[in-house]
Amino acid sequence: MTPVSLRERPAYAALAAHYETIKDIHLRELFAGDPQRAERFTFDVVGLNADLSKNRITSETLTLLVSLAEQSGLRDHIEAMFRGDRINVSENRSVLHVALRAPRSESIVVDGVDVVVGVHEILDRMAVFADHVRSGDWTGHTGKRIRNVVNIGIGGSDLGPVMAYEALRHYSQRDLTMRFVSNVDSTDFVEATRDLDPAETLFIISSKTFTTLETMTNARSARMWALAALGDEAAVAKHFVAVSTNAEKVAEFGIDTANMFGFWDWVGGRYSMDSAIGLSTMIAIGPTAFSELLAGFHAMDTHFRTTPLEQNLPALHGLLCFWYTNFFNAQTVAVLPYEQYLKRFPAYLQQLTMESNGKHVRLDGTHVDYDTGAIFWGEPGTNGQHSFYQLIHQGTRLVPADLIGFGQALNPLGEHHDILMSNVFAQAQALAFGKTAEEIAAEGVPPAVVPHKVMEGNRPTNVILSEKLTPYNLGTLVALYEHSVFTQGSLWGIDSFDQWGVELGKVLATAIIPELTSQTEPLLDHDSSTNALIRTYRRLKKG
């Protein structure tokens, strides 16, 4: 049976009519007419406090959005994911990142196998290995203690580990240096290893197939770098471990397969930071803190699965993203963490959101006739306030924003944290209510300048607060966005778990490499622009 198109669902028509009645209403008016608005639109969920009141919505808006979610089958889709149904239709795979953080006591059976058992087998092995490295029991080829850990991966095998390490650096073992290499640009590897001693360095090669071009190029360079100093091929087994499922390739590289940590086809790269891909995270913060991270993920998973949609924070977050994308024509969402440790969080969310929902066809392969995934971007506050906030406040584009803050600083210093957090509340207030021409004129501003200082306001924000940045709260925060992405994809009827758009460029690049390295002039058969660029590169390469 062909699913009902988004625009043909009754709630969509009702939302479209409702939008016409609300689109020009200012947040000033919504707050003035509803003294309980902040209380009604604030949600306390597993350690997160989310104030959604500064959105351009009413109670009717949320009722209609929830109705659309129900008509789109969101509740059934959630259950299908948690059951292990093959909801990644283009690859015929289950989508079970929720199993990665399921407690031992739970059971998720897929094709007759309880996957939770396998998850905890890997977690247990990771914990033993991490403890060996952290304690100094694991030594390098020369007997020296490992003091440097370099994760080599790309995409989800890098963005998640980097973000998690930076976010949880406060909890890390400070006598271990953690580095991350992803870019095939040689500068990334050279700068990451420039000041490291090969005898004290452990590399984690993160590639499911152990064939990823960028990762394996960097891995081979790491191997040569290590052996240039250590000499003996046997050193590879003491200085390299793998996160992979390709035992044959891992062994060929020289890694002991006893030190290979696997994961499964039902783990997408952008959802893998709590799988074996998180080995570098576990080494940095320890198995106990890593377990707390998983517990935070699981708490939000449970909330998402069991809570009615009208009180379900990830669902509501996703519905608001949908509301602005499909009715207000917002093209982007800004994520603005007021926590320096979360400096890599927006970059992590870029892959999570845009690789998931940057799709142009529905599950049945038909082309969508509406916008899908927004562009996610951001920087930590208050840096962004002196950079791009100008456009959010006074530009012509509507940019919904998430402001993320914490009640306690991890590094208290005088009044720093109060000053930081005052900006969270001030920016949300200014974006919502702005400043009128009358208010500005009353301050004695010259009439010619008044228009330049007007802040129209009516810019929507979510303010998400938590007590402090802990492994548990990071888990809840990441899972919030994971399930928000799921909610949006469910409404749009797309496959949020494949990424075919990543593949074409890689295939073309593989064909072009020999044309760049050929000692003789290659016969080029691309379009005229690509041919010209290749010839120009070959000329520049010669100097």
Q: Residue 240 pairs with which residues in a beta bridge?
A: 203
Query: By three-state DSSP, how is residue 468 classified?
Result: coil
- Interior CA angle at 182 toward 178 and 185, to 5°? 120
Which residue is catalytic, options 360, 416, 468, 506? 506
In sequence order, the β-bridge partners of residue 535 are none
Tokens of 410: 């991890």
Residue 332's SS3 state is strand
Give the strand pairing for 48-51 and 42-45: antiparallel
- What tokens appear for 196 in the block? 């490291």
Show Cβ contacts of residue 109 under 8 Å, excluding neighbours closer than 6 positions: 84, 115
Helix (H) and strand (E) counts for the chain? 23, 13
Q: Residue 367 class from Cβ within 10 Å (0-12 exposed, 13-18 middle, 19+ buried)? A: exposed
Task: Tally Cβ neighbours within 10 Å of residue 258.
Answer: 9
How far is CA 169 from each of CA 172, 178, 517, rounded to the nearest angstrom? 5, 10, 41
**CA pair distance 24, 171, nearest whole angstrom:** 47
Residue of 20, 248, 367, 386 marked active site: 386
Respond yes or no: is residue 355 known to be catalytic: yes
Quick one: tokens of 293? Answer: 């991270």
- For the chain, first and last CA: distance in Å? 62
Catalytic residue of the set 166, 292, 355, 515: 355
Task: Determine contact, residues 22/61, Cβ cutoff 8 Å.
Answer: yes
Q: Determine the Cα–Cα distance for residues 350 and 358; give it in Å rounded to an integer.
A: 11
Task: Tell me the catalytic residues.
Answer: 355, 386, 506
